[in-house]
């Protein structure tokens, strides 16, 4: 086993663990291929099991022969291990470093993890494109399911089955694909049942500096418009950025070639900028020596909240175009795998009540993120504590979850899931025993044989025992479109993620329990009242004939 070579010292006794808001634990530290384990070997004390994959970076310090390792995790937690013996400490540190930065995906824990629970419902089957298409077919016959990408040659980051306008043949799709960045030609993202308007997504068109055009691309998107109707193209980039993209062969749709479309530019940041933003935010949150002024100025300088506001605003705009203006929408940025997906998935949460259920939200993540080719593995390789120069890491998905949390906070009764569900997804996107977020596209996942070799996150989450933790007790299905406020006053810092390790959750947990208690008790009471009523009514009808002999 190759892991053994990386583990220089498999166990050390007398290690002291410090965690925020928890008592210190002294025990034995063990390193396995995938975990860092600290156990006090006493009953009733919690053990620490930390996935190496969750470790973002470590720091070493020495005072005499007492070494200290600060472990900074991708879920933003920071823990400290005091390790007696300089050699042991150095060995542990270098082992952790090696084990937490394994290059090969197939060495990752999900390939070794065997569930201790029985898989009742295979999460890999959660989203079946054919079934989703059947639903669509019941509402409209304007679309077809194309197999043009079945070997992933037309677009490596797309899934094999794609929903496209009925009148556009596969040949045209191939031509349109060659006109779009990474072959990501416009495909259906969402069908708005209420008025039949649609949202499509794509990558930027490859117009270049000389204004190339592509008849098939034009025809493809025009096919989604009703006669005489105009549509909106939402380019997530500013005009300036979109202009600059031309020099690199990219660009945007020219009015002359797309006369039925109106283009709107927004300013959703590119992924490398977002990574910087996350690092600054977490740094600000972890520095407790700040004065109020310094904290506010650092929060502002991180730009995180600005990013949340911009993404939500763009999603609201897309939703408005569809629901209020009754127009179809095409969303794209540059590659169509990041800001585009943030916008299309959030717009669906605003518009479609189904996305606000647990099942619906899981399907949304499958459809609009995993299948749509968001490169999870690249984006989530490192989190806020990475020391190295960021390659393609970016908290694109975390920002999406943050935006969902903002909507959830403003509509606390409209979501079937609670904040913990979103936090759980954040954690698993960055480090997990499940295979769901491995790989960067459907093609990669197939190659890795993930569905055979690993367990899906959904197989675990959807078990009733687990699901219970993620249910929102206040949920009442709400069929309306929900418009969040994007005023700065309405957008709060997501404490559940960013201040999670800087505060004791005791009081907030108590409040939550109390809330659940009130709701449960009420339900119970109403049930009892109803059943008693029924019994009495029954008694009366039974009594009736008796009294008239």
Q: Among residue numbers 213 through 232, which ones bind another protein (CB under 8 A)?
A: 232
Q: Minimum distance between the CB of residue 386 and another protein, rounded to whole angstroms?
A: 22
Q: Does 244 bind another protein (CB under 8 A)?
A: no
Under 8 Å between Cβ of 172 and 216: yes
Class of residue 63 by CB neighbours under 10 A (exposed 0-12, middle 13-18, buried 19+):
exposed
Q: Minimum distance between the CB of residue 403 and another protein, rounded to whole angstroms?
A: 13
Q: Where are the beta strands (DSSP E) in 272-321?
A: none
Q: Does 378 bind another protein (CB under 8 A)?
A: no
Stretch that binds another protein, among 70-78, 192-200, 235-243, 371-379 (CB under 8 A): 235-243
Of 94 and 238, which has the nearer Cβ to another protein? Answer: 238
Of 125 and 527, which has the nearer Cβ to another protein? Answer: 527
Of 239 and 449, which has the nearer Cβ to another protein? Answer: 239
Q: Does 242 bind another protein (CB under 8 A)?
A: yes
The contacts of residue 342 (CB under 8 Å, 6+ apart) are: 268, 311, 314, 315, 396, 399, 400, 403
Question: 261 vs 197, 225, 316, CA distance in Å?
Answer: 14, 9, 19
- Contacts (CB under 8 A) with another protein, residues 309-328: 309, 313, 316-317, 320-321, 324-325, 327
Stretch that binds another protein, among 55-63, 112-120, 174-182, 487-495 (CB under 8 A): 487-495
Q: Does 252 bind another protein (CB under 8 A)?
A: yes
CA 70 – CA 198 distance, rounded (Å): 50
Angle at CA of residue 428, ends 44 and 311, nearest 5°: 130
Q: Does 122 bind another protein (CB under 8 A)?
A: no
- Contacts (CB under 8 A) with another protein, residues 258-287: 262-265, 284-285
Q: Does 529 bind another protein (CB under 8 A)?
A: yes
CA 53 – CA 250 distance, rounded (Å): 36
Stretch that binds another protein, among 114-122, 126-134, 335-343, 479-487 (CB under 8 A): 479-487
Under 8 Å between Cβ of 500 and 384: no
Q: Which of 125, 195, 387, 526 binds another protein (CB under 8 A)?
A: 526
Q: Minimum distance between the CB of residue 149 and another protein, rounded to whole angstroms?
A: 30
Q: Which of 90, 481, 500, 505 binds another protein (CB under 8 A)?
A: 481
Stretch that binds another protein, among 31-39, 439-447, 454-462, 534-542 (CB under 8 A): 534-542
Of 124 and 417, which has the nearer Cβ to another protein? Answer: 417
Q: Which of 104, 288, 452, 465 binds another protein (CB under 8 A)?
A: 288
The contacts of residue 163 (CB under 8 Å, 6+ apart) are: 129, 133, 136, 143, 144, 145, 146, 187, 188
The contacts of residue 92 (CB under 8 Å, 6+ apart) are: 8, 9, 12, 29, 31, 69, 81, 83
Q: Compute how many residues bind another protein; rule: CB under 8 A.
A: 88
Q: Which of 20, 196, 388, 488 binds another protein (CB under 8 A)?
A: 488
Q: Does 549 bind another protein (CB under 8 A)?
A: no
Which residue(s) pair with 72 in the sheet? 57, 78
Question: 139 vs 134, 135, 193, 196, CA distance in Å?
Answer: 9, 7, 7, 8
- Contacts (CB under 8 A) with another protein, residues 12-71: none
The 8-class DSSP code of residue 478 comes to -
- Contacts (CB under 8 A) with another protein, residues 502-521: 502-503, 507-508, 510-511, 514-515, 517-519, 521
Q: Which of 2, 476, 544, 548 binds another protein (CB under 8 A)?
A: 476
- Contacts (CB under 8 A) with another protein, residues 421-460: none
Q: How many CA atoms lie within 13 A of 181 on its CB side?
A: 22
Q: Which of 94, 160, 410, 451 binds another protein (CB under 8 A)?
A: 410
CA 5 – CA 102 distance, rounded (Å): 13
Of 5 and 293, which has the nearer Cβ to another protein? Answer: 293
Q: Does 537 bind another protein (CB under 8 A)?
A: no
Q: Does 290 bind another protein (CB under 8 A)?
A: yes
Of 128 and 239, which has the nearer Cβ to another protein? Answer: 239
Q: Which of 100, 172, 305, 440 binds another protein (CB under 8 A)?
A: 305
Q: Does 126 bind another protein (CB under 8 A)?
A: no
Q: What does 203-223 look like in DSSP terms, one character per residue?
A: --B--TTTT---HHHHHHHHT
Pairing assessment for the beta strands 143-146 and 162-165 based on DSSP bridges: antiparallel
Q: Minimum distance between the CB of residue 348 and another protein, rounded to whole angstroms?
A: 16
Class of residue 49 by CB neighbours under 10 A (exposed 0-12, middle 13-18, buried 19+):
middle
Q: Does 384 bind another protein (CB under 8 A)?
A: no
Of 144 and 266, which has the nearer Cβ to another protein? Answer: 266
Q: Which of 489, 541, 548, 549 binds another protein (CB under 8 A)?
A: 489
Three-state DSSP class for 42? coil
Residue 37 zone, left/alpha/beta (φ > 0; ψ -120 to 50; rest)? beta
Class of residue 537 by CB neighbours under 10 A (exposed 0-12, middle 13-18, buried 19+):
exposed
Q: Minimum distance between the CB of residue 203 and another protein, rounded to whole angstroms?
A: 17
State the DSSP H helix or E strand holding residue 292, giving kind and residue range, or none if neither: helix 292-302
CA 412 – CA 419 distance, rounded (Å): 10
- Contacts (CB under 8 A) with another protein, residues 175-214: 211
């Amino acid at each position: 086993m190759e892991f053994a070579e990386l583990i220089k010292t498999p166990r050390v006794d007398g290690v002291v663990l410090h965690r925020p808001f928890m008592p210190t634990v002294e025990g034995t530290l063990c390193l396995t291929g995938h975990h860092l384990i600290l156990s006090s070997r006493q009953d009733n004390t919690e053990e620490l099991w930390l996935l190496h994959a969750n470790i973002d970076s470590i720091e070493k310090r020495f005072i005499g022969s007492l070494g200290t390792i600060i472990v900074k995790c991708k879920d933003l937690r920071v823990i400290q291990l005091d390790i007696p013996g300089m050699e042991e400490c150095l060995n542990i540190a270098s082992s952790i470093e090696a084990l937490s930065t394994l290059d090969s995906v197939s060495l990752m824990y999900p390939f070794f993890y065997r569930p201790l629970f029985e898989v009742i419902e295979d999460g890999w089957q959660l989203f079946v494109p054919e079934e989703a298409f059947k639903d669509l077919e019941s509402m409209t016959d304007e679309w077809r399911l194309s197999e043009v990408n079945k070997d992933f040659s037309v677009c490596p980051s797309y899934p094999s089955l794609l929903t496209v306008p009925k009148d556009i043949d596969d040949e045209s799709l191939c031509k349109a694909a060659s006109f779009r960045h990474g072959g990501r030609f416009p495909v259906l993202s969402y069908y708005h049942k209420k008025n039949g308007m649609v949202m499509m997504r794509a990558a930027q068109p490859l117009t270049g500096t000389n204004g190339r055009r592509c008849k098939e691309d034009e025809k493809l998107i025009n096919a989604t418009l009703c006669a005489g109707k105009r549509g909106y193209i939402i380019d997530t980039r500013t005009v300036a950025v979109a202009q600059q993209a031309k020099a690199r062969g990219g660009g945007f749709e020219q009015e002359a070639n797309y006369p039925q479309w109106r283009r709107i530019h927004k300013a959703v940041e590119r992924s490398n900028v977002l990574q910087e933003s996350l690092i600054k935010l977490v740094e600000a949150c972890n520095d407790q020596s700040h004065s109020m002024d310094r904290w506010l100025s650092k929060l502002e300088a991180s730009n995180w909240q600005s990013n949340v506001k911009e993404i939500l605003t763009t999603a609201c705009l897309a939703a408005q175009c569809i629901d209020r203006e009754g127009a179809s929408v095409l969303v794209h940025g540059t590659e169509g795998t990041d800001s585009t997906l943030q916008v299309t998935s959030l717009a669906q949460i605003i518009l479609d009540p189904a996305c606000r259920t647990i099942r619906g939200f899981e399907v949304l993540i499958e459809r609009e993120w995993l299948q749509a080719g968001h490169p999870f593995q690249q984006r989530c390789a490192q989190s806020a504590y990475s020391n190295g120069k960021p390659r393609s890491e970016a908290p694109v998905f975390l920002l999406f979850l943050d935006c969902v949390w903002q909507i959830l906070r403003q509509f606390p009764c409209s979501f079937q899931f609670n904040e913990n569900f979103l936090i759980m997804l954040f954690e698993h996107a960055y480090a997990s025993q499940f295979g769901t977020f491995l790989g960067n596209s459907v093609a990669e996942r197939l190659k890795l044989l993930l569905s055979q070799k690993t367990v899906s996150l959904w197989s675990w989450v959807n078990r009733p025992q687990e699901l219970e933790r993620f249910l929102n007790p206040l949920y009442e299905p709400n069929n309306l479109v929900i418009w969040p406020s994007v005023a700065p006053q309405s957008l709060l810092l997501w404490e559940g993620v960013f201040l999670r390790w800087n505060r004791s959750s005791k009081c907030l947990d108590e409040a939550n329990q109390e809330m659940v208690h009130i709701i449960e008790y009420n339900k119970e009471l109403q049930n009892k009242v109803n059943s008693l009523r029924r019994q009495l009514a029954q008694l009366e009808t039974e009594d009736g004939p008796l009294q008239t002999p």
